[in-house]
Amino acid sequence: MEQGLHQIWDPVRTAKFQDALLAWYSEHQRALPWRSRPDPYRVWVSEIMLQQTQVQTVLRYFDRFVRRFPDARALAAASEEEVVSLWAGLGYYGRARNLRRAAIEIVRRHGGRFPSRFDEILRLPGVGRYTAGAIASIAFNLPEPIVDGNVRRVVSRLHALERGAPERFFWEQARAWTPAGRAAEFNQAVMELGALVCVPSSPLCLLCPVAAPCEARRRGIEARIPPPRRARAAEEVRLVMLVMEHEEEILLVREREADYIPGRWGLPTRALARGESPARAARALARSFSPEPGALEERGTVRHGVTFRRIAIQVFRGRLARRPRARGGDDGARWTPRAALDALVTSSAFRKAIRCCDGG
């Protein structure tokens, strides 16, 4: 590796970079709802939503979420089902549960006021080094560095790091770049640069405000940095799922074999072994919840994706003339009126199965 590629920029070069980037950001920043009022709570919610989720997707959820839960006290007082229900469609539901857990901690430990120290923010459930730095810098203007995918890509290209670098280097360079007194603007600016200009493929170098010091552009290798990651092969999963009905009620359960489908409540579900008959598996599953499940009708297959899994779900419907007591007790299984399903069934996989049985 060539000498100098892993050297932190000197103050003169850094100052020119900061000035150019901040001037560009003042003219080209996107109008985002959490930027219009960057109080700590709103910044926190937006940063958790933006983890592994694109901005355009988050825009459809953010305003609705903060209207229903305008502060940590409101979020802490809500039930997990209600929080997850409003999160439905964003995926990675552990983020929603951690938000609520963190809100409870903010109320208990900090009197409902969002903590302003980096170390206190970092201790909140679901908050890592990047998220803590983002909240500390954007909401409190503290000179804390941030390194997400966008920042890592900008650093890699400006330093021409074709073969990557130790993780600590990215954080050290980000810290050296972050200006005291303007951390909130700067950290958003460098992320915005990565999102709008220094994009993963075909970077818009002619529009880049910091093209002059870019070592990758000087060498003509900007498109090769960072090197593409190997995509993880998708896992094919086959499931059976039951929609067990009695009049206007549907059986919901808590414990399900496919625990990667989120939600505290869902439809009875189990994975199919290789060569296993879906009808036989569905029948055995139905008997585990009701001693007399009656005839099951195969309604079709729905497709669903969760992280690296491609899921084919064989849906079976059972209509019961009388309402048996669901095995597992009230804590493990419940008969739920259709009118209450939206509040309890948060995963689109379960909703697809219900629509499949309804003919939708």
Give the active site residue among 27, 47, 247, 292. 47
Is the bond preceding 166 in cis, omega lying within 30 degrees of 0? no
Question: For the CA atoms of the chain, what is the radius of gyration?
Answer: 25
47 is catalytic: yes
Q: Which amino acid is at 110?
A: H
The rounded distance, in Å, linking the Cα atoms of 146 and 155 is 12
C-alpha distances (whole Å) from 236 to each of 8, 239, 269, 304 are 45, 10, 16, 11
Angle of helix 94-110 relative to helix 80-87, nearest 10 degrees, comes to 130
Q: Give me the residues paired with residue 245 across strands.
A: 250, 319
* DSSP string across 186-231: HHHHHHHHHHHTS-SSS--GGG-TT-TT-HHHHHT-GGGSSPPPPP
Nearest to 246 by CA among 280, 293, 193: 293
Q: Three-state SS for 305? A: strand
Distance CA 294, CA 307 (A): 35
Query: Which residues are CB-neighbours of 276 under 8 A, at least 6 positions away?
Result: none
Residue 47: count other Cβ atoms within 10 Å of its Cβ.
Answer: 22
237: β partners: 311
Is residue 125 within 8 A of residue 101, CB to CB? The reply is yes
Residue 165, helix vs strand vs coil: coil
CA dist 48 and 11 (Å) reads 33
Catalytic residues: 47
